[in-house]
């Protein structure tokens, strides 16, 4: 089924072949979950998008217009996924951005992906990816358009391997995130920990929501570099993003984990946003 698509607010599927998003990955994107016509964590998405535009020095977005376009695309949808791509727009040949470019907004609407209910109840299986994430302080945290590292990591296994997600480390061996998710672990003494994204990774909006909920309820939080050994010794592990919510992790390779109370609590927080 062809997804619905709007370019700069108008129905259509065509963009310029000179668009810098196509040539250089010069832009950002947001993936937004729609439930009963409402976009979950919309303010978090718009805040991340605005911050990303500032860091990439993209022209300011008309946020009221963007919000109206997203709301229109979500209206009347029982379940859907919206993907908003913002590029620097069309420019000449060469890396130097033109001062006169205008951003291009590409908004697509897709059916919500279907996943087995057992992923939520009993957890998923992960593998440690061979592909490593590059360290780049300037781009760390951003959901920018260059996802080649994730593409290569996801190509490391097939559906027949019965693995649902991959665990990615950076060049120095620190655990950063899943291919499409952020990672949380419960350490000793009930500490909820998640890897630092200071040098690599994507600062997910569901990750932010869970951290806010944990802080509000007085749960001790640790945001720091985590080694693979620390991950494997955790009492429980879960992954999250704005579309799937929270999935427990039952296994990473031959390491096994149980679904614990922190994970169940995070799942409750995810359904309340």
**8: exposed, middle or buried (C-beta count within 10 Å: 0-12, 13-18, 19+)?**
middle
> In angstroms, rounded to a whole number, what is the distance separating the alpha carbons of residues 103 and 165?
33
Helix (H) or strand (E) holding 269: helix 261-271
> In angstroms, rounded to a whole number, what is the distance separating the alpha carbons of residues 59 and 119?
40
Contact 199, 134 (CB under 8 A): no
Catalytic residue among 69, 165, 177, 236: 177
* pLDDT of 1: 43
Q: Supply 193's token pair.
A: 């920990």
Read off the pLDDT band of 160 (50, 70, 90).
confident
Residue 269 Cα distances to 96, 192, 207, angstroms:
43, 14, 11
Instruction: Locate the DSSP E strands across the chain.
Output: 4-7, 10-11, 27-35, 38-39, 79-87, 104-110, 124-128, 165-169, 174-178, 182-186, 192-195, 221-224, 226-227, 236-241, 245-252, 255-256
CATH number, span 117-271: 3.20.10.10
CATH number, span 4-110: 3.30.470.10
Q: pTM score, two decimals?
A: 0.95
> In angstroms, rounded to a whole number, what is the distance separating the alpha carbons of residues 195 and 58?
28
Q: What letter does residue 273 receive in the DSSP assignment?
A: -
Active site residue 177: yes
> pLDDT of 161-189, one tens digit each?
999 999 999 999 999 999 999 999 999 88
Catalytic residue among 30, 31, 87, 263: 31
Q: Where are the domains of the chain?
A: 4-110, 117-271
> pLDDT of 105-124, one tens digit each?
999 999 999 999 999 999 99
Q: What are phi and psi of 63, to 5 degrees?
A: -60, -35
Buried b (16+ CB within 10 A) or exposed e, 235-253: bbbbbbbbbbbbbbbbbbe
pLDDT at residue 99 greater than cutoff 90 = no
User: Within a 10 A sphere around the Cβ of 162, how many other Cβ atoms?
Assistant: 10
Q: What letter does residue 160 receive in the DSSP assignment?
A: G
Catalytic residue among 87, 103, 143, 236: 143
Read off the pLDDT band of 97 (50, 70, 90).
confident
The per-residue pLDDT of the chain, averaged, comes to: 95
Active site residue 83: no
> In angstroms, rounded to a whole number, what is the distance separating the alpha carbons of residues 173 and 265?
29
Active site residue 67: no
> pLDDT of 29-73, one tens digit each?
999 999 999 999 999 999 999 999 999 999 889 999 999 999 999
């Amino acid at each position: 089924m062809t997804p619905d698509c709007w370019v700069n607010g108008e129905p259509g599927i065509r963009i310029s072949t000179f668009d810098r998003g196509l040539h250089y990955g010069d832009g950002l994107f947001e993936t937004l979950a729609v439930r009963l016509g409402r976009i979950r964590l919309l303010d978090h998405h718009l805040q991340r998008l605005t911050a990303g535009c500032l860091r990439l020095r993209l022209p300011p977005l008309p946020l009221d217009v963007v919000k109206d376009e997203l709301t229109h695309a979500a209206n009347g949808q029982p379940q859907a996924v919206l993907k908003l791509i913002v590029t620097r727009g069309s420019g000449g040949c060469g890396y130097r951005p033109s001062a006169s470019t205008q951003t291009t907004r590409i908004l697509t609407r897709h059916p919500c992906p279907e996943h087995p209910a057992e992923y939520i109840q009993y957890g998923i299986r992960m593998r440690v990816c061979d592909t490593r994430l590059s360290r780049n302080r300037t781009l760390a945290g951003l959901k920018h358009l260059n996802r080649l590292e994730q593409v290569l990591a996801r190509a490391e296994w097939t559906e027949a391997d019965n693995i649902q997600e991959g665990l990615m480390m950076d060049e120095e061996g620190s655990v950063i995130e899943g291919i499409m998710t952020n990672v949380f672990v419960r350490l000793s003494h009930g500490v909820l920990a998640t890897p630092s994204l200071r040098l690599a990774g994507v600062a997910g909006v569901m990750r932010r929501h869970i951290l806010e909920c944990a802080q509000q309820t007085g749960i001790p939080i640790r945001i720091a570099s985590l080694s693979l050994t620390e991950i494997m010794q955790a009492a429980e592990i879960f992954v999250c993003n704005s579309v799937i919510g929270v999935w427990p992790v039952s296994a990473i390779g031959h390491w096994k984990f149980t679904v614990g109370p922190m994970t169940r609590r995070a799942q409750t927080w995810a359904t309340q946003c």
